[in-house]
Amino acid sequence: MPSASPGGGVKDLAGGHSGEVDETARPHPSPPADWRHGRLLARPGQATAEAEAPGLHQLATGLLYVPAAPPGRPRQLLVVLHGAGGSAGQAFDLLGDHAGDHALLLLCPQSAGSTWDVIAGGYGPDVRRIDDALAHVFARFRVDPADVAVAGFSDGASYALSLAVANGDLLTAALAFSPGFLAPLLSTGRPRFFISHGVSDRVLPVERCSRRVVPALRAAGYNVTYEEFAGGHEVPAGTVSTALDWLER
């Protein structure tokens, strides 16, 4: 499918990335189970370990927020990805105030470097870190397979979109706040997308970012809800509420 480059804009994805990744093929008809392709392997199943109590918990690769929920109820999981130079704590701050009201498990991974691997050179280290964190959650909570989603801001939004396209058999939805690009190496499943962007964004200008990414996704047949707002490189509180309401629907 068309893809936007990390520098902004949309292009055909004809080659891989530098560094650890040597993938040179176009999107594959049968996705390999390989972290180099941005593939996540963990899946919801029968929880076998003791679950964390309600509250915010430090994991080896980030943070996990557990809301109070009725016993035995399947959980809804949202993976939240921070922006460039950010932290798992900042990712939690983005949606943490709303997680309890929406009964959302929030998994906030920390990137291995200053930003996510595909932006720094190629898929690999961060895909494995996120996969490990997902395995931790799935081992402790009964997560509804139809309610595993990903969200992110800025570079985290670009990464969320890319992971969702590559892992639509796991990630059923993606919330992307001010993304810059889209760079999957393959596509699986049919996730739905909520994308927002400020019309005065000077960091990732809307004209060469979301206004190109959104048509590319729609042209590939994805269901995309897109909203622009009067503002810059930010996530207004009203946009967060709208996005989470959309996710529940």
**Could you give the strand order of the β-sheet that contains 143-153, starting from the edge strand earlier in sequence?**
55-59, 62-66, 104-109, 75-81, 143-153, 173-177, 192-198, 224-229
Identify the DSSP state of 154.
T
pTM of structure: 0.87
| CA pair distance 79, 99, nearest whole angstrom | 12
Q: Mean per-residue pLDDT for 119-148? A: 95
pLDDT at 14: 24
Token pair of 129 as six digits = 């870190």
Tens digit of each residue's pLDDT (9 = 90 or more) over 202-229: 999 999 999 999 999 999 999 999 999 9
- Residue range 57-239 forms a domain whose CATH class is alpha beta
Domain ranges (residues) in the chain: 57-239
